[in-house]
Amino acid sequence: MTCGSPSFSRRLVLQGAGSVALVGLGFGTVPAVAAANDKYPEDAFRQKGDADAIKALYGKTAEASDKVKLDAPEIAENGAVVPIAVATALTAVTSISFLVSENPNALAAFYVIPEGTVPAVANRLKMAKTCNVIAIVESAGKLYSATKEVKVTVGGCGG
C-alpha cells in the first residue's frame, strides 16, 4: 500500500488529477536545449509522453540497440523504488537518460557523461504502473535505446 494506508502514508491522487501541472515552480519556460550541456532541461521534464520528452530533450529520435544493456526487474517489488541500471559498450558517450512511459511525466533522469566517465549508471525510480522503461544512450551524437517492460503491482505514487 504505497499510497494506500491513510494512517501511515500518503494517498495516491486518483487518475486524472495527474493532469494538474504542479511541477516546476518559479522557473520560466526554457526552450528545448541540445543535450549534453549543464542546463536543467525543464521543458523535457514537463512533457507527458516519452516521444515528446525525447524530442524536447534531444530534438531527434533514438534507434533500438542491443549495445544498450538495460537492467530492470520483471516485477517491481514496489513502484516507489525500482532499481534500474544501464551500461553500454558504445563509445564517445555524452549522456544517458531514463524514461518511464506511463508516468505523468515520462522523463525521469538525464545524466551528463563527461569524457573519462564510464557510460553506466544505476538509480532508483518511481513507476506509477506497469509500463516500459526506456534507457537512451547518446553516443557520437546519435541516440541508441533499450526498452523493457516492468510490471508494477504497487504503484509508486504517480512519479
| Residue 50 phi, psi (nearest 5) | -70, -40
The one segment of 59-67, 123-131, 134-142 that binds other proteins by CB under 8 A: 123-131
Of 105, 129, 134, 138, the one binding other proteins (CB under 8 A) is: 105
Of 63, 66, 74, 140, the one binding other proteins (CB under 8 A) is: 74
The C-alpha atoms of residue 54 and residue 51 are separated, in whole angstroms, by 5
Of 123 and 132, the one with the shorter C-beta distance to other proteins is 123
Q: In this structure, are residues 50 and 143 in contact, taking their beta carbons and an 8 Å threshold?
A: no
Of 47 and 145, the one with the shorter C-beta distance to other proteins is 47
The C-alpha atoms of residue 3 and residue 11 are separated, in whole angstroms, by 4
CB of 98 to other proteins, least distance (A): 8
Joined together, the cell numbers standing for residue 155 give: 504503484
Site mask for other proteins (CB under 8 A), range 12-41, x = bound: xx---xx-x-xxxxxx----------x-xx
Q: Give buried/exposed letters for 94-125 (b at 16+ CB in 10 A, else e).
A: bbbbbbbbbbbbbbbbbeebeeeeebebeeeb
Tell me the number of residues near other proteins by CB under 8 A: 66
CB of 92 to other proteins, least distance (A): 14
